Amino acid sequence: MAVASLACLAGCQDSVATSPPPATPTLAPVATQAGPPPTSPVAATFNASEEPLAAGRYTRGAFVPRVTFEVDEGWLAVEAGPRFWKLQRESDAPDAVALMFARPDGMYRDHGQLMGPSTAQAAADTLGANAAIEIVSSDGSRMSGLIGLLLELETAAAEAQVLHVPPGALTLPPGDRMWLALFDTPEGLVAIIVQGSAAGWDAVLVAAEPVLESVTIGL
């Protein structure tokens, strides 16, 4: 009888009408519109040549991060390596303008004393300690969304070693000035360099400015 009473009690409880608990509302995912991916400018391959560069945009495939720049007519591709490339305007003229892109593996604290830079600031500090180099001015530099350091350098006496890239040292002779922009990137330190006559420095910057304004880094 006890078993029957338990069964009856269970049956009576099951027959009682109850309201189901309210359902927990589910949050619908919020739709967000993704922005356009960064554009990678179309560019021809920069190769060293004795022929003048055709006007247009160039890059160097072996150089990481990807760097592109645009030139008008009148520039020569003087050197093109995996970590250093150089173009020059008015070749063999005393007022020649050189523009270079580099992934330096060292900066010179003194003649023959090479220090491996870890950051743009460390590279600038190393050059600031080099007695053969005079820092004419220093400032911040913004290029292609990156913020870096900008130095203008002259040599106090004899030709000074500034930075090292394979295959050798990049030097600054007396009478020249160097515009050196240093940027930290995920791939390492990138240096962009303009070099020319200190006496005609304003004209040097005028010639280099359109190219510098066109530079992209990492796109």
Predicted confidence (pLDDT) per residue in 29-78, tens digit: 444 444 445 567 899 999 999 999 999 999 998 899 999 999 999 999 99
Poorest-confidence range of 20-24, 57-61, 91-95?
20-24
Task: Give me the pLDDT at residue 38, please.
Answer: 56
- How many Cα neighbours within 13 Å face the side chain of 93? 15
My answer on whether omega of the bond before 167 falls inside 30° of 0, hence cis, is yes
Architecture of domain 44-217: Sandwich (2.60)
Indicate yes or no: pTM above 0.85: no
* Confidence label for 145 from pLDDT (cuts 50, 70 and 90): confident
For residue 182, what are its two tokens?
């240093």
As a whole number, the mean pLDDT across the chain is 83
How is the chain split into domains, by residue range? 44-217
Average pLDDT of the residues in 78-99: 86
The predicted structure's pLDDT at residue 77:
95
Q: Is the confidence at residue 5, as pLDDT, over 70?
A: no
**Cα torsion at 203, 204, 206, 208 (round to 10°)?**
160
Model pLDDT, residue 16: 40
SS3 state at 16: coil
Backbone torsions φ then ψ of 133, nearest 5 degrees: -115, 135
Output the pLDDT for position 92: 63
